[in-house]
Structure 1
Amino acid sequence: MAQHLPQTERVYFDPPAPAQPQGSWWARYIAQLKGLSPTAHAALEADCRFILNRGLLGIGPPSAGVWPTRARTGLVMGSVQSGKTASMLGVSALALDHEVDILVVLAGTRISLWRQTYERLISQLDAGEGTGRDARRILRPVPEIALSDEQADLQSVYHMAPSPVRRRLTKRQPIIIVAMKQINHLHALARSLRTNVFDTVSELGRPFHMLVLDDEADDGSILDAVVEAGRDPARDDLKQIPRGIANLWEFTDSVPANLFATYIAYTATPQANLLQEDHNPLAPRDFLVSLRTPLDSGHVVDPSNPVGNVTAPRSSTYPEPLGMSAYYTGGEVFYHRSESAGLCSATTGNAEQDLGEAVRAFLVAGAVRLHRSRRLGPHSAIKSTFDTRDEAATATSPPHSMLYHPSASIQDHFRGAEDVLLWAGVADRGEARAMLESGRAGLPGSLVARMRSQEAQWEAWLEWYQSSARGIAGEFNLLSPAPFPDWPTTRHLLETEVIPGTRVAVVNSDPTADDRPEYAPSFDEGTQRWLPAHDLSTIFVSGNVMARGLTLEGLTTALFQRSSPAPFADTQMQMQRWFGYRGAYIELCRVFADRQQLSLFRAYHDIDEAVRIAITENMQAGAPDPAVLQGLGFLATGKIANLNTRPLSPGAKPFVRLVNSGRQPDPNAVLVASLFAGGASSDLVAGNSLRGRILDEPLTLTQAAEVLDGLNFEDYRPGRADNRIAEHWAQVRARVAAAAPLQAGDLYRAPSGMGQDDPVRSDCPYSIPAYMRLWDACLTRSVRGLFVTGQPGVRWSTANLTRKRQTQPRFWVGIRYGGGSPVNSGPLAALPFQIPTTAKCVEGGEMKTEWGSNNPKAGPTGYRGDEFFDYYHHNAPLPPAGGGTAWRPAGSDGLILFYVNEWNVQPHPSIAVGVCLPAGGPEQFAATKASALPI
């Protein structure tokens, strides 16, 4: 269901661009950004300024008297293919305007990613003519080395002559370095800095600021807690890349005392970064920031005042007035909002049939896009040349791509590409492999004849796309859906342009595979003419290399056939390259995967959004510490060993083992007495014996929570400050409030001590009422990152809330009688019934026995156990014994059962309590580090 915005009319217009200082890095950078709306420009600038002001300069400009340490570390969470590089370059521009002296951009672990980022940096951040650029900074490596196919030794790649360095730094002109995230590159860069730069830094004496931006920071920059256990964190035998990065500024004798560093990790999947141990010098300690993406919901961005947006309310998305064509189409669109449009299609399990369906979908979508573009098709473009680069780009159709993910194995990628060609009509596998190795693996002409013989299967896709367009238009309130050609026109374009103009390529780490997609025109030295982009219509077969940084332009179709017995959320989130800005043709997009994989994709998105909300809701208050979530069927990350899972629910039958000593009257006896004095109650007889007393009317979830929050323990008052459980519940509350505002009050309401609060217990009794309040709040909210107890594969955000409200539990309250003497003093003695005490063993202020015996063989005249106390009151059938679950069935009521206990010779009885919860409530699975103490 679409999220409804407040009923407020807003008028959008194109405001005058704010004046920028002439020659500023930001002004030059923003002038190079094309295709961004005024609102997107404002959101980008606001987020970049937030990172600058709260991250780089969060405690002021670097200075020995201001910074408590000489290095600050933080993390920026983006979304997959959402524009993290634009933010990274924007932060760079603002930092350079604020006189950052040394900028290091760590641009990927592969040459292709390094060059991709380098090219963007020199064309956008370092824009201008060569002489003008050379006069304002030092850039390493120089383009002649970075973009050359010739091998260069690393000493020359990062070499900086001391004299120019001194001149530039004296004039406060920066050094900009784009480094590959490989250990030999990092060592070479560190040597160059120590040899050529740091002497000048020491001589000048003023504070110097180094900014290190780590793109795809969860790739290679993580230290594993278990793998590194037992090693000295100061030694060099820790994982090399993180140590190599930190060595750029580590404060040894060779690093100037006046050098200050800020390290910012950029990633869409921060699970490992947040879970790693603090002995990694790159662990985010000082700030976390979540970037925003454009959609039709969220807090509004004011295009006329981006600077003011730094302190404005934030959400993970912001409304984009331009509409669908400018929306970020991530998991919210593919897995939530587009359900009626059918963008996700379950595979059949027949590999050849699924491959054929995906290729047909891709080719028909290509014909529709070509018809809309009114440009030269991919087959005609192959034979065309142009006078200028711009002409080559504008005269041809936009790139159109398909991604086929057969498995993680490199050899499976080549075999998968061969399968595509064989399906299309290539004679045998040997011919298909030869075509791939030659780089000219075009679809054969025989596919045209095959299409004509199976025309109904191809035409069906045109009809399905039209149906998707109607679903998208209804969900996003589109007034003018994009046009569709009729089938004869589509067929003609398939025959003459799309099929003959489509090629198959393998992109992976194998040296015989294609290096990377080519979407820019190229210059032919022989003819002195411009050639169109190589990949105007391409089926890419790939694996892990496509899951990190490389972008497939015009991606409409993805076939995901890989599976894993132990999937990792961060790895598989990165594989979803179909995310991006695809709103202009979103109705033509399809993700083909089996039902289990699609369910995992939806769950990954749900918990990803939950982490994003947790960061966003707390960004204004410093460095959030969000819970990293996972599911019972998948782990958050494989980069950290021995992760544990901490549920949110207290379980099916939580028993509060904490009791008061009985040395003085138990205040909890007053609580129980007031409950039974204020309401009618009845004896509870089961198995021909009087078992206790029960209130005749049940409590609601919130009433039950208030009762349990009223428990008072003489030696346990943990409070809500500096309390890990309180912080944990505060994060959950923030996610609930993000779905819809909550009334004042925390979910977790533990009492504070008179002085110092007590250490929090892992089985804190105040977590039970916090959970009840959460359940009540979730009855009217589709909260992200939650599953359903008893059904751990079901997400709360997709639950039928009307049904949840109808079946919400009520809680019956009882007192269990024992075989001891009746209570003869205090408020319980004043009740109109006697309460024989129980004699459960107590040691050190804790009950050593809980619910007591359970007799699963008890017949109609027997007593099965205390956890079914209320069932006997209603004469209701008991759940089947040995049902494989401790949970009461969803839709059942719950139970709060008090025990008035008198152990040995304690002067006063003490109150113990057990709670039974039915299934069907909200649940969260938080990942915990191997070293983390249970809470």
Structure 2
Amino acid sequence: MTDTSDKAYNGLREWIKRARNKEYSWETIISKADGSEDDVRFFRNNIESNFWPDNSMSVWSKVVGEVRHVEDTLKRAIERTNRSTLLGPNQKNMLEVPEEEDSCWALYSLKLREKGFTNIETIQSECLNILQSISSDTREDSPVKGLVVGNVQSGKTANMAGLIAMAADHGWNFFIILSGTIDSLRIQTRNRLYGDLKNDELGKFAWQTIDHLNLKNPDHHPTKINLKNDNVTRYLTVCLKNPKRLRDMLRWINYDPKKSQMKILLIDDEADQASINTAQPDEQRRTINRLIVNLVEGKDAKGNATGRYGAMNYIAYTATPYANFLSEGLPESLYPKDFITLLTPPNLYFGPSEIYGSDDMPGMNVINTYENVDRAIESLHGGTSDQLPDSLKDAVCWFLCCVAILRKQKYSGPCSMLIHTSLYTDHHDNVARAVFSYLTTERSVINKRCETVYPKQTSMLPLDRFFEEYPNFAVPKSKIHNYPPFSEISKGIDELISAEPRHIRMEEEERVYHNGIHLCIDNSKR
């Protein structure tokens, strides 16, 4: 069967889109391949003049069906996006999705398609919705402030990159991402965004990352930055939410009079972390919040006005938005006065509503409930015992089974299991000590326990039942691996527990990993 997703068929798709824009019906468009003399002439002319593939007439109905599916999906996505957006008093702008093949958005969406994303129309609709809610000129107005709410690990970064791409196509030239408080995660975010956006050979814009906005950095001194309207460079920086880094950024931005040429899109990633002003109303703002507010309002680190940007748009992204819209609503704050919008999780996503259920979704049969374990957990917390309760041993064994399955399927990425029984750091250490003890002192019997746990867990959610409970899952049933026999993963389990578990400390500069189990203890004192 011909792969009509190839770019050789772009000409057909563009003609169909133009016909739809002129309000041609789908019946009229698809009838072009009916075989009349006019139809044959239509295809011959386009093959000769517009370099359509020779088989264009035979694949016409297939291409029409694909374009129709995209249009219908996009229409539903737009309706869903409009229902999930709250707007302030400002009217939305009239910007459209960039259509040029060398646009940042077109090249980014092509990357998404190559990576196997199945929700590109939804991403496009939601990015356009946000784009139409911001402003490319705030010289006479206050900064735009909005909030984007997405589920945990559900594609917020893909939406950020799409929004940046669309904004770059429409004239925004300076992109700032505030990325948590851990530098390794900042670097990870920077590399991913730059990889998503960079297309120097094919794109109309050249992307330049600035690793640290600092006046001592000669390579990226503000006097070397070109922000003229006809310049093709777009600047991207990912900054820690750290007082020193934010002060350096404010000094850098306020150093040069070209500040008035900056059309800024400022994205606050995980905006509920460090950005919120947690001070009482009669107290001074918390330092990080104050510095971010000064950045948004066009002030220096001390709060002195230093001139307006060409445009300033602050967009907070978070999965836990309560503090963001329940905090202060003062004019000079980070309150999302202009819009709040919800992102749609992709149909590959498993979150609380998919697992535990909601009003219109029953949830999945994967929950194991145990009673009478409180006393055993209390003993672990208090350090009087290092024996895991049977329920937690079963959970660890099921995790080992799952990792062994993934290793069998040649998956080489990290897999993690969260054990959360308390909010106290001493308890975290004691539970980790018990897990370590189990994986080392009972190594000889773990595989046998896994063999007992495996059929119990796999019978709870067999493949057929999974598709009954999640009928809209993006991957077809024919491409889903079924559970293998335990005999095929037994060796993999032994390999996982053959080496002593390592403790990973976040402050270690050169961490050493092996192919087995690693313990990472949150807020640990060890």
1:38/1:192 CA distance change after superposition, 3 Å: closer
Give the conservation status (yes or no) of the 8 Å contact 1:246–1:281.
Answer: yes
Q: Partners in 2 of 1:365 and 1:63 — Cα distance?
A: 52
1:29/1:270 CA distance change after superposition, 3 Å: same
Question: Structure 2 regions of 5+ residues with no counterpart?
Answer: 1-61, 71-96, 378-387
Instruction: State the Cα deviation string for residues 217-239 of structure 1 (Å, max 9, x = none).
Output: 11111123xx33235xxxxx321
Answering whether residue 339 of structure 2 is matched by residue 287 of structure 1, we say yes
Give the conservation status (yes or no) of the 8 Å contact 1:399–1:535.
Answer: no
Q: Partners in 1 of 2:112 and 2:281 — Cα distance?
A: 46
Give the conservation status (yes or no) of the 8 Å contact 2:275–2:288.
Answer: yes
Answering whether residue 516 of structure 2 is matched by residue 543 of structure 1, we say no
Query: 1:468 is matched with which residue?
Result: 461
1:240/1:535 CA distance change after superposition, 3 Å: farther
Q: Partners in 2 of 1:539 and 1:491 — Cα distance?
A: 20
1:273/1:535 CA distance change after superposition, 3 Å: farther
Higher helix residue share? 2
Q: Partners in 1 of 2:248 and 2:98 — Cα distance?
A: 41
Instruction: State the Cα deviation string for residues 713-763 of structure 1 (Å, max 9, x = none).
Output: xxxxxxxxxxxxxxxxxxxxxxxxxxxxxxxxxxxxxxxxxxxxxxxxxxx
Give the conservation status (yes or no) of the 8 Å contact 2:498–2:516.
Answer: no
Q: Partners in 2 of 1:483 and 1:398 — Cα distance?
A: 20
Query: 2:274 is matched with which residue?
Result: 220
Q: Partners in 1 of 2:277 and 2:508 — Cα distance?
A: 32
Higher strand residue share? 1
Q: Partners in 2 of 1:85 and 1:32 — Cα distance?
A: 14
Equivalent residue in structure 1 for 2:328, among 277, 281, 290: 277
Answering whether residue 412 of structure 2 is matched by residue 403 of structure 1, we say no
**In the TM superposition, what is the alpha-carbon distance from 1:92 to its structure 2 partner?**
0.9
Which residue identity does 2:438 align to in structure 1? W
Q: Partners in 1 of 2:519 and 2:173 — Cα distance?
A: 41
| Matches for 1:799-878 after TM superposition, within 5 Å | none
1:340/1:164 CA distance change after superposition, 3 Å: closer
Answering whether residue 442 of structure 2 is matched by residue 363 of structure 1, we say no
Equivalent residue in structure 2 for 1:329, among 350, 368, 372: 350
Give the conservation status (yes or no) of the 8 Å contact 2:173–2:227.
Answer: no
**In the TM superposition, what is the alpha-carbon distance from 1:258 to its structure 2 partner?**
5.4
Query: 2:26 is matched with which residue?
Result: none
Secondary structure (helix, strand or coil) at the match of 2:161 reads: helix
Query: 1:451 is matched with which residue?
Result: 446
**In the TM superposition, what is the alpha-carbon distance from 1:158 to its structure 2 partner?**
9.4
| Matches for 1:8-157 after TM superposition, within 5 Å | 14-15=66-67, 20-33=99-112, 37=116, 39-53=118-132, 55-57=133-135, 61-62=136-137, 64=139, 69-128=141-200, 136-141=206-211, 155-156=215-216
Answering whether residue 261 of structure 2 is matched by residue 261 of structure 1, we say no
Secondary structure (helix, strand or coil) at the match of 2:188 reads: helix
**In the TM superposition, what is the alpha-carbon distance from 1:331 to its structure 2 partner?**
0.9
1:162/1:543 CA distance change after superposition, 3 Å: closer
Give the conservation status (yes or no) of the 8 Å contact 1:251–1:257.
Answer: yes
| Matches for 1:526-541 after TM superposition, within 5 Å | 538-541=517-520
Cα RMSD between the aligned structures?
A: 3.6
Query: 2:258 is matched with which residue?
Result: 200
Query: 1:187 is matched with which residue?
Result: 247
Give the conservation status (yes or no) of the 8 Å contact 1:99–1:174.
Answer: no
Answering whether residue 486 of structure 2 is matched by residue 487 of structure 1, we say yes
Secondary structure (helix, strand or coil) at the match of 1:89 reads: helix
Instruction: State the Cα deviation string for residues 479-532 of structure 1 (Å, max 9, x = none).
Output: 66642222333333323x333378444465xx35997xx9xxxxxxxxxxxxxx
Secondary structure (helix, strand or coil) at the match of 2:489 reads: helix
Equivalent residue in structure 2 for 1:171, among 211, 231, 237: 231
Q: TM-score, normalised by structure 1?
A: 0.40
Give the conservation status (yes or no) of the 8 Å contact 1:402–1:540.
Answer: no
1:366/1:200 CA distance change after superposition, 3 Å: closer
Give the conservation status (yes or no) of the 8 Å contact 1:249–1:255.
Answer: no
Q: Partners in 2 of 1:289 and 1:62 — Cα distance?
A: 22
Answering whether residue 290 of structure 2 is matched by residue 243 of structure 1, we say yes
Instruction: State the Cα deviation string for residues 887-908 of structure 1 (Å, max 9, x = none).
Output: xxxxxxxxxxxxxxxxxxxxxx
Secondary structure (helix, strand or coil) at the match of 1:264 reads: strand
Give the conservation status (yes or no) of the 8 Å contact 1:138–1:165.
Answer: no
Secondary structure (helix, strand or coil) at the match of 1:247 reads: helix
1:266/1:456 CA distance change after superposition, 3 Å: closer
Instruction: State the Cα deviation string for residues 758-786 of structure 1 (Å, max 9, x = none).
Output: xxxxxxxxxxxxxxxxxxxxxxxxxxxxx
Which residue identity does 1:289 align to in structure 2? T
**In the TM superposition, what is the alpha-carbon distance from 1:346 to its structure 2 partner?**
3.7
Give the conservation status (yes or no) of the 8 Å contact 2:102–2:203.
Answer: no
Give the conservation status (yes or no) of the 8 Å contact 2:113–2:120.
Answer: no
1:93/1:335 CA distance change after superposition, 3 Å: same
Secondary structure (helix, strand or coil) at the match of 1:174 reads: strand
Which residue identity does 1:222 align to in structure 2? I
Give the conservation status (yes or no) of the 8 Å contact 1:214–1:264.
Answer: yes
Secondary structure (helix, strand or coil) at the match of 2:461 reads: helix
1:425/1:473 CA distance change after superposition, 3 Å: same
Secondary structure (helix, strand or coil) at the match of 1:334 reads: helix
Instruction: State the Cα deviation string for residues 639-673 of structure 1 (Å, max 9, x = none).
Output: xxxxxxxxxxxxxxxxxxxxxxxxxxxxxxxxxxx
Q: Partners in 2 of 1:358 and 1:161 — Cα distance?
A: 54
Secondary structure (helix, strand or coil) at the match of 1:100 reads: coil
Q: Partners in 1 of 2:307 and 2:166 — Cα distance?
A: 25
Q: Partners in 1 of 2:246 and 2:160 — Cα distance?
A: 20
Secondary structure (helix, strand or coil) at the match of 1:213 reads: strand
Give the conservation status (yes or no) of the 8 Å contact 1:466–1:484.
Answer: no
**In the TM superposition, what is the alpha-carbon distance from 1:78 to its structure 2 partner?**
0.5
1:272/1:539 CA distance change after superposition, 3 Å: same
**In the TM superposition, what is the alpha-carbon distance from 1:23 to its structure 2 partner?**
3.2
Q: Partners in 2 of 1:109 and 1:293 — Cα distance?
A: 26
Secondary structure (helix, strand or coil) at the match of 1:405 reads: coil
Give the share of equivalent positions with the same residue, in percent. Answer: 25
Q: Partners in 1 of 2:98 and 2:230 — Cα distance?
A: 29
**In the TM superposition, what is the alpha-carbon distance from 1:25 to its structure 2 partner?**
1.9
**In the TM superposition, what is the alpha-carbon distance from 1:416 to its structure 2 partner?**
3.3
Which residue identity does 1:241 align to in structure 2? I
Q: Partners in 2 of 1:157 and 1:451 — Cα distance?
A: 54
1:370/1:40 CA distance change after superposition, 3 Å: same
Structure showing greater radius of gyration is 1
Q: Partners in 1 of 2:217 and 2:204 — Cα distance?
A: 17
Give the conservation status (yes or no) of the 8 Å contact 2:155–2:346.
Answer: no
Secondary structure (helix, strand or coil) at the match of 1:263 reads: strand
Q: Partners in 1 of 2:485 and 2:205 — Cα distance?
A: 58
Instruction: State the Cα deviation string for residues 441-471 of structure 1 (Å, max 9, x = none).
Output: xxxxx61x2236xx36632323321332254
Question: Structure 1 regions of 5+ residues with no counterpart?
Answer: 1-10, 147-152, 232-236, 296-326, 376-395, 427-445, 519-533, 546-935
1:463/1:490 CA distance change after superposition, 3 Å: farther
